[in-house]
Amino acid sequence: MVDKIKTPNVTGMEDKFTLFFYSHEYEILEIAGILSGLLVIFITNKFFVTSSIYYILLILGVFVCSLGFILEYTIKYTKKKSIEAEFGYFLLDLSREYKNTKNISLALNNVSINNTYGSIDTEIKRLAVRMSWGDDLNNALLSINKEINSSVISHTIILLDAFKGSEIPINRILVNISKDISIYKEENQRKKYFKNLYSLAIVFFIIFVFVLVYLDLLIGKNFLWYSNTGMVTRIFLDNFLLYIALLLSFFTAFTLYSIKGGKNTRLLKYIGIFFIVVVILFQVFIPKPVAQDVLIETINYMEVQKIDTYELDNIIALESISSKYISDNTTHEEIYFINEKNRTQDNSFEYTIIVDDATFYSFIIEKIDEKYVVYYYLVTGAED
């Protein structure tokens, strides 16, 4: 277990100020950004309220407020990448310099002066300063890694801590750690590759499922829900795309299982999760074949195809069916219903079929003198 960072004993105002700055440089950057942004906002509200560039300056002030955080992230990200690329070489140089000087602090100071390691030069110089104050290498590394949080430095600290007190020369330890870092980076790259592949498989699955749902919504409206002929129906299309999505779920689950490995139950878990996601998405976004919508689409289809009679069997009604709602969504104003058992009676037409609970109906739609008559009868349930 790596020890916590210990503050070295420093003397002199300059050294104390340097230590304070090193310990709080990002906080100082963030506070400076916030204060600068608030100053811009204050000046904007004070002198530019009626100006045409008021909102531009206001947005600029908000951006300046966040600039410290953006710079902090950019600096840390750049340093982390540089550390992954250069830290092994730095340890080799430090090992060679220690072999010549026999003093780790002097060796580190020489390395910080005579070599360049990209954007981590500042961190190496900071290491040299802390070592000159009497700090040990582990604690100095901890201090620079506090904000950057590099896995390479953390790995180095763990190895240094493991060899602390051993009789192996420090230069030999540094050489071995440098070699170990190369292996560690390769393992990390492999892990990142598979992690990215894992995430990519999930992203592609989500994208393709939403594409299938969108295609269903886009082209599904061109099909009838039900048909008494051999034509392709909306329900057939829905089921076809649903089966494709479920098949995609299986292959995605198998891909994730191949990447992660583990017990066979993990594969079943992946399949179960993806199946549930697909079913929920299709249930939420895909329209249901309820009676009113089925009647509307069928009447519109009859009008286009010049069909006078059409039969629909076992259509579910979840709410009362209004002829006004149907006429508002078709090109005909005169649409009314007749109960099949009252078909021979005069003036038996109705303008609403009252539905108290989910009920199945069958319909016969007839076009008579530019009017649509919908004959209906109950398939299941009881009629009051």
DSSP labels, 186-255: HHHHHHHHHHHHHHHHHHHHHHHHHHHHHHHHHHHTTS-S--SSSS--HHHHHHHHHHHHHHHHHHHHHH
CA distances from 261 to 85, 194, 258 (A): 30, 11, 5
How many whole angstroms from its chain centre is CA 2? 34
Radius of gyration (C-alpha) of the chain in whole angstroms: 37
Predicted local distance difference test score (pLDDT) of residue 157: 84
Specify the long-range contacts of residues 259-268, CB closer than 8 Å, at least 24 apart.
259/194, 259/197, 259/198, 259/201, 260/198
Q: Which amino acid is at 329?
A: N
Per-residue pLDDT, 380:
63
Q: Which residues of 168-201 are buried (b: 16+ CB within 10 A; e: fewer)?
A: eebbebbbebbeebeebbeebeeeeeeeeeeeeb
User: Would you state the pLDDT for residue 19?
Assistant: 56
Give long-range contacts, CB 8 A cutoff, 24+ apart: 59-66. 61/37, 62/37, 63/37, 64/33, 64/36, 64/37, 64/40, 65/33, 65/34, 65/36, 65/37, 65/38, 65/41, 66/33, 66/37
The predicted pLDDT at position 1 comes to 40
Nearest Cα neighbor of 303 from 274, 279, 332, 282 is 332
Q: Give tens-digit pLDDT for 231-289.
A: 778 888 888 999 999 999 999 999 888 887 777 788 899 899 999 999 999 888 888 88
Cα–Cα distance for residue pair 6/183, rounded to 1 Å? 30
Instruction: Give me the residues of the chain with pLDDT under 70, please.
Output: 1-24, 115, 228-230, 380-384
pLDDT of the residue at 247: 93
pLDDT of residue 382: 43
pLDDT of residue 384: 42
Instruction: Give the model's pLDDT for residue 290.
Output: 84
* Selection from 241, 349, 220 nearest residue 294 by Cα: 220
Q: What's residue 16's pLDDT?
A: 57
Residue type, 144: I
